[in-house]
Amino acid sequence: MSTSVQRPGPECRIEQLERMAAMLRARIIENSHKTKTPHLGSCLSCVDILVALYFGTLRISPEDPRAPTRDRFILSKGHGAPALFHVLAEKGFYPKATMDAYGENGGVFSEHPPTPDHLPGIEAATGSLGHGLPLGLGMALAGRIHEYDYNVYALLSDGECNEGSVWESAMLAAAQKVERLAVVIDFNKWQATGRSEEVMALAPLTDKWRAFGWSTYEIDGHDLKALVEVLSRVPDGSGKPVAIVAHTTKGRGVSFMEDDNNWHYRIPTQDEVVIAKRELGVAQ
Amino acid sequence: MRNAFADEITKLAAEDPRIVLLSGDIGNKLFDRFKEVAPTRFFNCGVAEANMMGVAAGLALSGLRPVVYTITPFTTTRCYEQIRVDACYHSAPVVIVGTGSGLSYAELGPTHHSLEDLAILRVLPGMTVLAPCDQIELRTLLRLAFHHDGPVYMRIGKKGEPILNKELASTSITIGQAVTLRDGDHVCLIVAGPIASEAIGAAELLAAKGITARIESFHTIKPLDEKRLDRIFRRYPLVAVVEEHSRIGGLGGAIAEWRARQPSGSWAAMLSFGSDDEFMHEVGSQEYARRKYGLTADSIAEQVCAVLRQ
């Protein structure tokens, strides 16, 4: 059975996506300031990947968020939740105004994604790293059993690749030739307290995924055209699951945040928000 | 019990296209029949239990009814966070089966013992915890587990366990409702799992001394059959809990918690039979290990007798 929702067509232009990404970055920064939510650097590094997925790749419909044949996306790096929440609001899963309650007691917008029962558009609650890929593999195997043609995408951070469960999952996905499963690695070269390469000897990351039996791609994770092109290629005909290593910059889009790991936890001041928005070309 | 599990899950999978079996690289040939019946719904997930549990939750979130099967420590302590986050937090209807539970694999050493699983599984929100005493309870509870809307953990034995309640109609077994294995007047033995056979042996030894024992199979550790507990603790002067599990946190712990919450009144005294707070460093058979921890019929009967005569 094929999915009823089609991919966004060529009318969805790359320049539009770039403007949307800048606007979303501004909202995420404002939100971080207002609600004192950390992980800003991690959110900014994956905004373009999320925009490429939600506005250029995923066959999903906010009107029918539980359609059995929909594509699935799991934010395995759950600390990027603020970015996802803004993207889902922009996509229309819930009114943008609901985001005003971000971080309020009794609300649903915490620092990590809640369960699908508590927020439309969410496929899995994450926050503890190394869970999204196994969950996604289960969803992809379910698609095979049901004979649906949906794809499952999981976004992982490079630090997350420290987790053994990621590699357990990589091996089973390859053994089962789950070609409708893709991981995107938000490869920003940092984890919470240091360079990801120094903490756990990650290199050669793309080779690792290839050695684990995956079809691999290495792209600029801020190049929306390249992202949409590669993400839409799943399944790629290799008969293998697809790993997309997306080179990114932590804190992308704001000069004083880029590649500065202090922004894993730092909260921007009001002045910094103003400067950031100016740099992003987003009106006050 | 594991053969009964393999047989029953095969029957269930033939009837229910939602059932998917995940095995952690064990059960060589055990599931050959299942693979014939449901070739697209069996996955050997390898020696990688954390991933297996996550995969199960992903299947469950996509409308399927996965059952995860491997040796108890590897399907519980090994992947506890995946059970907590992927299954329980999502209320995903995953059925987790731990085979060779308790001291079934005593001779394999503490890595293969499971004397903590009831404690750590029952604390998880939304988790149902089952310990059938024989294959009649196992088959029925397994069937019911697939109609339960949430995660279920079931610990089972290994092979060759006797059927303890041949007269019991499977239709009278329900999740959350204890089964009376025999009635008696002087003491009530509350049991969970195949260790029930030792409790039955103890009841026979006690009967020879003129003490009649009621035996209740609490195959559901969570949710506890509190109505039954209320009746038992009012009627009997002594209740003895028997489980192949640590005395900390298992069925005895659950019942002690329940008892502590009750208003003051005349409640039965309580004895708790289970393993000591230690790893068993010496080698031994299941029979040896049970004897070491006072979990044999004669040891149970002796202690019950001593307390009643005080």
pLDDT tops 60 at residue B87: yes
For the segment A111-126, the average pLDDT, to the nearest whole number, is 96
pLDDT of residue B168: 75
pLDDT tens readout for residues A36-67: 999 999 999 999 999 999 999 999 999 999 99
Annotate chain A with three-state secondary structure.
CCCCCCCCCCCCCHHHHHHHHHHHHHHHHHHHHHHCCCCHHHHHHHHHHHHHHHHHCCCCCCCCCCCCCCCEEEECCHHHHHHHHHHHHHHCCCCHHHHHHCCCCCCCCCCCCCCCCCCCCCCCCCCCCCCHHHHHHHHHHHHHHHCCCCCEEEEEECHHHHCHHHHHHHHHHHHCCCCCEEEEEEECCEECCEEHHHHHCCCCHHHHHHHCCCEEEEEECCCHHHHHHHHCCCCCCCCCCEEEEEECCCCCCCCCCCCCHHHHCCCCCHHHHHHHHHHHCCCC
Q: State the nearest Cα–Cα gap between B9 and chain A, in angstroms.
A: 18
Shared domain for B20 and B124, answered yes or no, is yes
pLDDT tops 90 at residue B171: no
pLDDT of residue A4: 56
**Which chain A residue lies closest to B40 (C-alpha atoms)?**
A145
Shared domain for B150 and B193, answered yes or no, is no
Tell if the CB–CB gap between B43 and A124 is shorter than 8 Å.
no
Domain finish residue from B155, B184, B200: B155
Shared domain for B202 and B302, answered yes or no, is yes
Q: State the nearest Cα–Cα gap between B28 and chain A, in angstroms.
A: 18
pLDDT tops 70 at residue A84: yes
For residue A37, the enclosing domain spans 14-280
Q: How far is Cα A227 from Cα A53, in angstroms, rounded to an integer?
A: 8
Going from the C-alpha of A171 to that of each of A164, A166, A178, A210, B78, the distances in angstroms are: 11, 9, 11, 11, 18
Q: Which of B53, B55, B82 sits opposite A141 (nearest CB)?
A: B55
CA quadruple B69, B71, B74, B79: dihedral sign = positive
How many Cβ contacts (< 8 angstroms) between chains A and B? Answer: 106
> Is residue B163 a part of any domain in this protein?
no
Domain CATH code at residue A227: 3.40.50.970
pLDDT of residue B167: 76
Q: Which chain B residues are closer than 8 Å to A175 by Cβ?
A: 46
For residue B129, the enclosing domain spans 2-155
Q: Which chain B residues are closer than 8 Å to A131 by Cβ?
A: 54, 82, 85-86
pLDDT tens readout for residues B268-295: 999 999 999 999 999 999 999 999 999 9
Predicted ipTM?
Answer: 0.96
Q: Which chain A residues are closer than 8 Å to B61 by Cβ?
A: 116, 123-124, 135, 138-139
SS3 B130: strand
> Is residue B267 a part of any domain in this protein?
yes
Q: Which of A127, A136, A146 sits opposite B58 (nearest CB)?
A: A136
> Is residue A4 a part of any domain in this protein?
no
Residues 6+ apart with CB under 8 A from B87: B53, B56, B57, B60, B94, B96, B127, B151
Banded model confidence at residue A251, pLDDT cuts 50, 70, 90: very high
Q: State the nearest Cα–Cα gap between A120 and chain B, in angstroms.
A: 14
CA quadruple A137, A142, A144, A147: dihedral sign = negative
> Is residue B162 a part of any domain in this protein?
no
Give the total number of structural domains in chain B. 2
Q: What is the mean pLDDT of chain B?
A: 96
Tell if the CB–CB gap between A135 and B40 is shorter than 8 Å.
no
pLDDT of residue A138: 98
pLDDT tops 60 at residue A1: no
For the segment B186-191, the average pLDDT, to the nearest whole number, is 98
Give the total number of structural domains in chain A. 1
> Is residue B47 a part of any domain in this protein?
yes
pLDDT tens readout for residues A87-97: 999 999 999 99
* Test the B interface: residue of A165, A167, A212 with most B CBs within 10 Å: A165
Q: Is the peptide bond before A235 cis (omega within 30 degrees of 0)?
A: yes
Residues 6+ apart with CB under 8 A from B89: A115, A125
Q: How far is Cα B103 from Cα B245, in angstroms, rounded to an integer?
A: 8
Q: State the nearest Cα–Cα gap between A218 and chain B, in angstroms.
A: 25
pLDDT tops 90 at residue A5: no
Instruction: Report the percentage of chain B scoring pLDDT > 70.
Output: 100
> Is residue A104 a part of any domain in this protein?
yes
* Test the A interface: residue of B25, B44, B55, B149 with most A CBs within 10 Å: B55
Shared domain for B38 and B122, answered yes or no, is yes
Q: Which of A141, A146, A172 sits opposite B48 (nearest CB)?
A: A172
For the segment A65-81, the average pLDDT, to the nearest whole number, is 97
Domain CATH code at residue B96: 3.40.50.970
Domain CATH code at residue B275: 3.40.50.920
Shared domain for B141 and B194, answered yes or no, is no
Polymer length of chain B: 310
Shared domain for B108 and B67, answered yes or no, is yes
Domain finish residue from B130, B155, B180: B155
pLDDT of residue B28: 82
Q: How far is Cα B47 from Cα B25, in angstroms, rounded to an integer?
A: 6
pLDDT tens readout for residues B9-43: 999 999 999 999 999 999 889 999 999 999 999 99
pLDDT tops 70 at residue A7: no
pLDDT tops 60 at residue A2: no
Shared domain for B21 and B98, answered yes or no, is yes
Polymer length of chain A: 284
Tell if the CB–CB gap between A145 and B20 is shorter than 8 Å.
yes
Residues in chain A whose Cβ is within 8 Å of chain B:
68, 115-117, 123-125, 127-128, 130-131, 133-146, 164-165, 168-169, 171-172, 175-176
Instruction: Report the percentage of chain A scoring pLDDT > 70.
Output: 95
pLDDT tops 70 at residue A114: yes
Instruction: Report the percentage of chain A scoring pLDDT > 90.
Output: 91
Q: Which chain A residues are closer than 8 Å to B63 by Cβ?
A: 68, 142, 146
> Is residue B302 a part of any domain in this protein?
yes
> Is residue A141 a part of any domain in this protein?
yes
> Is residue B79 a part of any domain in this protein?
yes
Q: Which chain A residues are closer than 8 Å to B60 by Cβ?
A: 138
Domain finish residue from B93, B126, B155: B155
For the segment B246-250, the average pLDDT, to the nearest whole number, is 98
pLDDT of residue B273: 98
> Is residue A2 a part of any domain in this protein?
no
> Is residue A105 a part of any domain in this protein?
yes
Banded model confidence at residue B165, pLDDT cuts 50, 70, 90: confident
Report pTM. 0.96
Q: How far is Cα B307 from Cα B303, in angstroms, rounded to an integer?
A: 6
